[in-house]
Each structure stands twice: as C-alpha cells, then as structure tokens.
Amino acid sequence: MVFHAVEKFRLVFPCRGKFRPTFSTLWKSGFHAVETRRVAAWMVVALAVCPAAHAAMAAPELTIGQGWGWVREFFPPSGELDIETIVWTNPPAQIDLDTLQVWSVRRPWPIRQWRWLEPTAPPPAVNQPLVWRPSGEAPPLPARDRLEIQLDRPLSHRMGHSLTYRLPGLDWHAFYHVIVRGIGAESIQSVQVDISAYLRIRNETATAFSNARLSLVGIDRFRLPPSKPFGRLALNPDSPLSDLWLSLRDPAPLLPRHYPLQAAADIPAQGQSEIRFARLERRPATIIHVSDSDEIPAPTVRGGLPLRRVLLVPNTAAIGLGFPLPPGEADLHLGAIRGAPVQSGHVDHTPFPGTLRIQMGPADTVRATRQAGEEIPLPEGGWQVDHSVTLINRLESTVHVRVVERPTTHREWSLVRSSLPGAVRAGSLEFELTLPPKSSRTLSYRLRLVARSH
C-alpha cells in the first residue's frame, strides 16, 4: 500500500464544512426515537472521519536552534490498515535526510530506505526554437519534488503519521522593551513595569511555515567565555626567587536550554518574521542595589561610587509569564516608550520559576566605599585580613542592597566572622541588608588566608 503525503496539509475532507448536527436539532425536526438512533449511528461514523480533517489542519511544530531548525509535520489519516510506502510531495530542498524519521502516533517507525523519484519527462516541444549550449555545459537538473520512503514493516494509518527532520538555515534573536514607572528623583515609589518581548526569526531556506508552534533551543551567545582564560602571576611563597604562573580553571561550558514559547508564527521563506511572545502591563516589580567588588575597588575614591540598580520581575503565570524566557537585548524606558531609551542592556536566561533581572544602570543616590586592610601573619600559619564596606542611602525611601565581595587574592580564603550574616558562594561572599531613608551603614568581615595547595 502506497500513501501519498501531499504538500502542507492540502487534503480536503467532507466534514470540514460548518454542518454539525446535534441531537437537540434532530429532535426538534420531528424525528422519532428509532430515527434518532439511526442518525446517532451516522454521527459516530461522521465523527470518526472528522479527526482526519482536524489532522489535516494540524500546525507544524518548529524547534529553532542557532543555525538550524527541527521540524515536525503532521499528515492526516487515510484509513488504510497497512502502509508500506510513503511518497512525500515537495519536501524542503535543504532537508537533512540523515535525520528524517517517520512517526506513528507516539513512536518512530523504522525506515528501510528512501529514494528520490525523478519527475516524468515533458512531451517534446513542437515548433520551438533550438537552444544552443556551449560544449561542456550540462542542462540544468530536473527538480526533485517527490521522495519515496519505504518502511521496514507495515504501518497502520488510522491515526495518520508525522515526519520529523532537521533543516539548516534557521536562527532566532530575542529582544525586550521595558517601561518602568514609579522611580522619582528623591524616592523609589511603588514600581510598576510594562514588558513587551519579541522574537525575530531568520529563515534562509526556501520553505515557508504557516501557523507553526514555536520553541527555541540555544545558549546565551552574549555570555560565551573567552577561548582561553588569562592566568595570574604570583610570587612563590616557598621560594622568593621564583614565580608561579597560576592558570585559572577553564570556565564551565554553556549548555543549550529549551524555551517552549506559548506563541505561533507565520515564517516566510527567504526572509524574517517578528512575533511578540510575552506582554506585561502595569505589573508590580522590585528594585535592588548591588555593590559588586569588581566594580567598586578598594580603597574607593572619596564620596564613594554609585551602586548598580537591578529591576526584579517574578517569572510566574500570575503576572502573565510562566515559562522560561530566552536571553536577548533590552531597551529600558522610564515612564513611557516615547523617545530614545534611557539605556540598552542585556537580559540573561530566566528559568521558570525564577526572576527576570533587568539592569538599570548606576544609581547616583545610593553609593558605597570599600576598604581592605593589610594581610597579617598568624602564629599558627596563614594570614588574616579585614575588609569593610560602607553603604550610603541618599533617597527618601528605603532601599534593599545586595553586597557581593570577591576577594582579590591568589591564596585560598575562608570567612572567619562578619558583622552581618552572609552566604559563601563559589569564589564570592554575598550579604543582603535594608537601608532606611537618608542613612548609612558599615559592613565588616574578616578572612583567613592560606597558601594554595597546587
């Protein structure tokens, strides 16, 4: 049995019309109970055929990676019990046939072999001008528009089938428009945000996709580590006459992440399309100020340096999100989207459940100064050093501050004590505190240092 899979769901079925009889309408028309049972039996047969119409209209599933796409197309059932050969009409020209799979309802079906079917030769032209071709120039090859797929064993086609394959030439890029309301010159009031998230899809293939259900796969290319990290030159504690070249550990590789978007898109061939996959209006958000030791050196200039302001939006279904958000560029506006953005930045990968973090630039009204003491030798071996961070809030409202300290030393360190409870992360210390309006506070901590074991 040979089944012909036509191009892009163009089969026509009798139940695609608007006539859908119900028992109530049949009863009002004057049918008796016996006639109603006969019509009910007819409706069972009609409903058995109607799923084929819905399958014919099923939208393709398209997973877009960075430079490729994975496509799944659905084809309607033919009603045959044993299908041994499938003829696919007009497959994509750039298809990677090594990845082609035939799926039944829930599992892939083994393929014995596939081959291109050559188009039938057109009849010879009559009274047409002679076309001369230089020697050595071959005529163009005929287009291959039919692919025959022979299955390893018969496939029941009562529920239809689907084809999955890899298609190179697809890419995606996400960007966000963010509007923040509630930030004044003297205070931070109740902050609200409007967020519009867009996805730009580039399709370099000759295949168009209509109403495709989208999902994304990829890494944050903005966060790619350097090919080879720098080392660190330090003195050898055992022999002052030699140096140590401490090679830093290679950073962990970025793993691709999956983003199942709740959106559909029409993607033209050889072009770009843009869709909006998320939108928030007047949703509450919070703001924190981050004091990072990589940005605020010790000792700090007089008057301190401004902290970095970060907007936090919970990624929950209650506010209109509820799915992982892909990384991308972001434009930040204050109060309205009119005019140029206040600043442009980057949105990192946001898991679900998680928190969307948007960088808002430096905040001049919340500042910090850092001081680092000298390394003091200890009788039992090792050294100790004291650090302090002074935070200043010049606003009329309370602010939340996160202090991130990354000790700049080639020795191994451990936290001895601190004036506030802190968390030890990988290579850093983190403290969180709340500053009242028009106030300042000093955070101090002590580290113990020992020589590196390698």
Among 134, 168, 202, identify where a domain stops: 168
Instruction: For residues 287 and 322, state if they share a domain.
Output: yes
Q: What are the DSSP calls for 131-166, one per residue?
A: PP--TT-PPPPPP--EEEEEEEEEE--SS-EEEEEE
Query: For the whole model, what pTM was predicted?
Result: 0.72
What is the mean predicted confidence (pLDDT) over 115-133?
71
Instruction: For residues 183 and 161, state if they share a domain.
Output: no
3-state secondary structure of 253: coil
pLDDT digits (tens, 9 = 90+) for 219-267: 998 888 766 655 555 555 566 555 555 555 666 778 899 999 878 899 9
Instruction: For residues 196 and 108, state if they share a domain.
Output: no
111 vs 128, residue with greater confidence: 111
Lowest mean pLDDT among 64-73, 78-87, 279-288, 306-315: 78-87
Name the band, by pLDDT with cuts 50, 70 and 90, for residue 53: very low
Instruction: For residues 85 and 234, state if they share a domain.
Output: no
Q: How far apart are CA 128 and CA 152, in angstroms?
A: 47
Q: How far apart are CA 75 and CA 58, in angstroms?
A: 8
450 vs 25, residue with greater confidence: 450
Instruction: For residues 263 and 153, state if they share a domain.
Output: no
Q: How far apart are CA 133 and CA 286, in angstroms?
A: 72
pLDDT digits (tens, 9 = 90+) for 348-389: 999 999 999 998 889 999 999 999 999 999 998 899 999 999
Instruction: For residues 151 and 188, state if they share a domain.
Output: no
Instruction: For residues 190 and 51, state if they share a domain.
Output: no
Instruction: For residues 181 and 108, state if they share a domain.
Output: no
> Does residue 88 lie within any of the structural domains?
yes
**Number of folded domains that form the chain:** 2
What is the mean predicted confidence (pLDDT) over 111-120?
85
What is the mean predicted confidence (pLDDT) over 86-115?
92
> Does residue 130 lie within any of the structural domains?
no
> Does residue 123 lie within any of the structural domains?
no
Instruction: For residues 369 and 239, state if they share a domain.
Output: yes
Angle at 316 (CA atoms; ends 311, 322), nearest 5 degrees: 115
Among 135, 168, 201, identify where a domain stops: 168
Lowest mean pLDDT among 43-47, 107-111, 181-185: 43-47
Instruction: For residues 279 and 159, state if they share a domain.
Output: no
Instruction: For residues 155 and 251, state if they share a domain.
Output: no
pLDDT at 27 over 50: no
Tell me what the pLDDT averaged over the chain comes to.
82
pLDDT score for 316 = 94
> Does residue 125 lie within any of the structural domains?
no
3-state secondary structure of 397: coil
> Does residue 134 lie within any of the structural domains?
no
Domain around 161: 2-118+143-168
> Does residue 13 lie within any of the structural domains?
yes
pLDDT digits (tens, 9 = 90+) for 163-214: 999 999 999 999 999 999 988 878 887 899 999 999 999 999 989 999 999 9
Instruction: For residues 158 and 227, state if they share a domain.
Output: no
